[in-house]
Amino acid sequence: MEKSNSNDAALTKKAGFFGDLLEKIYTLLDNKKIKWGVFAVIFALALGFPLVSTNYWISVAQNAMFFMLLALGLNIIVGYTGICNFGFAAHFAIGAYVTAILVRTFEWSFWLTLPVSFIASIIVACIVAGPTLRLRSDYLAIVTLGFGEIVRITARNLSITGGASGLSGISRPELFGMHLTTITHWYYVFLVLVILYVIISNRIKNSRFGRALQYIREDEDAAMAMGVNTAKFKLFAFIVGATMGGLAGSFFTVRMGAISPQSFQFLMSANILLSVVLGGMGKIPGVMVGAAFIAFFPEIFRDIPFVGTARMLFFGILLVVVMIKRPQGLWPERKR
C-alpha cells in the first residue's frame, strides 16, 4: 500500500505545473454547461476577430486555420492510427492541382471541382497506401517521404501543371452571389471549414471506426488478434486523411489564385506533422493549438528588434524545450 502511494505521488510530481493545469481544465470541461459555454465564447471571439484586427493579422489567422485543416487531416493518420506519414503535403498538392487545372485550363466552376478533387485524393491514397501500409515505423516513413517528393517533382516537370512556375490567374469562386475576393471573406470560409473538420474528426473518434484505429495505434498485433482487420482500417484512415488534405488544398488554390511546386516541399509536410506532434497526437484541440502555434509564433516576433531576424532560431529552440518538457504535446489526451 505504501509503495502504491509513493508511486502515485511520484506520478503527480512528474505531471508538473502544465499537467496539473490540464487536469483541472479537463475536470472543469466535464461539466457540459461549462464546456458548451467555452465553445460559444471561442466561436464568438473567432467571429468578431476580423472586426477588431488588421488585414495582416486576419491573414495570419487564416493561415493558422489552413494549417489546422491539414493537421486535422493528418491527425486521422498519425494521431488516431499511429501511421508515420512524412509526405502529407503530397495529398494537399493533389487537391490543389486538380482544382487549379480544372478551373484555369478547363474553366470549370470551383464548386464542381471539389467532387473530382475528392475522388482523385481517394484514388491516389489507395495507390500509395495499398502496397505500403504493410510496412511499419521508419520504413513507412521513408516511403511516404519519397511519395511526397515524387508528387512535387512530377508537378514541377509537367506542362499541364505549369512546370516550375506553377499555375496563376486562377479565378476565385462565388458563394450565394458574392464573389470571394477579400481576406475577410476567406477568413470566414476557412472558419466554417475548421468547424466542419472538427465535427468530422470528433465523429470519427467516437465511432467504432475511430476506436479500431486507436487499438491499432496502441498495439497492432493485439488488435489483429482480437479480430480487427488492421489492413482495411489503416487503408480507410489513410483515405479519410488524404481526402481532408486534398479538399483543403482545393480551397487553398482558389484563395491564393496561384499554385506552384514550392508550396509542397518537405518543409510543409514537416510543419504539418509538427503541428500534430507538438499539439498532442490524437487530441483535436491539441492539434489545433499546435497548428496555431506554428502559424502565429514566427509572426509575433517578426518586428521585435534583435529578435525578428533570428526569430526562426528562437522558434526552433522553443520547440526543442517544449518537446523536452512536454513530450506528450501541449494538450495531450486525458489519461484515465
3-state secondary structure labels for all residues of the chain: CHHHHHHHHHHHHHHHHHHHHHHHHHHHHCCHHHHHHHHHHHHHHHHHHHHHCCHHHHHHHHHHHHHHHHHHHHHHHHHHCCCCCCCHHHHHHHHHHHHHHHHHCCCCCHHHHHHHHHHHHHHHHHHHHHHHCCCCHHHHHHHHHHHHHHHHHHHHHCCCCCHHHCEECCCCCEECCEECCCHHHHHHHHHHHHHHHHHHHHHHHCCHHHHHHHHHHHCHHHHHHCCCCHHHHHHHHHHHHHHHHHHHHHHHHHHHCEECHHHHCHHHHHHHHHHHHHHCCCCHHHHHHHHHHHHHHHHHCCCCCCCHHHHHHHHHHHHHHHHHHCCCCCCCCCCC
- pLDDT for residue 13: 44
Q: What mean pLDDT do residues 221-250 have? A: 91
The band of 317, judged by pLDDT with boundaries at 50, 70 and 90, is: confident
Backbone angles phi, psi at 170, to 5 degrees: -80, 120
- pLDDT for residue 122: 95
Residue 326 or residue 117, greater confidence: 117
The band of 11, judged by pLDDT with boundaries at 50, 70 and 90, is: very low
Q: Average pLDDT, whole number, for the chain? A: 85
- pLDDT for residue 243: 95
- pLDDT for residue 68: 95
The grid cell for 229 is 482487420
Q: Does the pLDDT of residue 308 top 80, yes or no? A: no
The grid cell for 67 is 494549417
- pLDDT for residue 128: 87
CATH fold for the domain made of 58-325: ABC transporter involved in vitamin B12 uptake, BtuC (1.10.3470)
Q: Does the pLDDT of residue 74 top 70, yes or no? A: yes
CA atoms of 289 and 114, how far apart (whole Å): 27
Cα three-residue angle 42-240-192, rounded to 5 degrees: 30
- pLDDT for residue 66: 93
8 alpha-carbon distance from chain centroid: 35
- pLDDT for residue 157: 92
Cβ atoms of 260 and 104 closer than 8 Å: no
The band of 306, judged by pLDDT with boundaries at 50, 70 and 90, is: low
- pLDDT for residue 335: 63
Domain spans of the chain, in order of start: 1-29, 58-325
Q: What mean pLDDT do residues 196-203 have? A: 95
Least confident of 8-22, 33-47, 292-306: 8-22
Q: What mean pLDDT do residues 237-261 have? A: 93
Q: Does the pLDDT of residue 254 top 90, yes or no? A: yes
Mind listing the pLDDT tens digit for each residue in 107-165? 899 999 999 999 999 999 998 887 787 777 678 888 888 889 999 999 999 999 999 88
Q: Does the pLDDT of residue 235 top 60, yes or no? A: yes
- pLDDT for residue 2: 45
- pLDDT for residue 9: 41
- pLDDT for residue 85: 87
CA atoms of 36 and 131, how far apart (whole Å): 43
175 conformational bin, left if phi > 0, alpha if psi -120 to 50, beta if neither: beta
Which residues lie below 8 Å from residue 11, measured CB to CB, with a gap of 6+?
A: none
Q: pTM here? A: 0.88
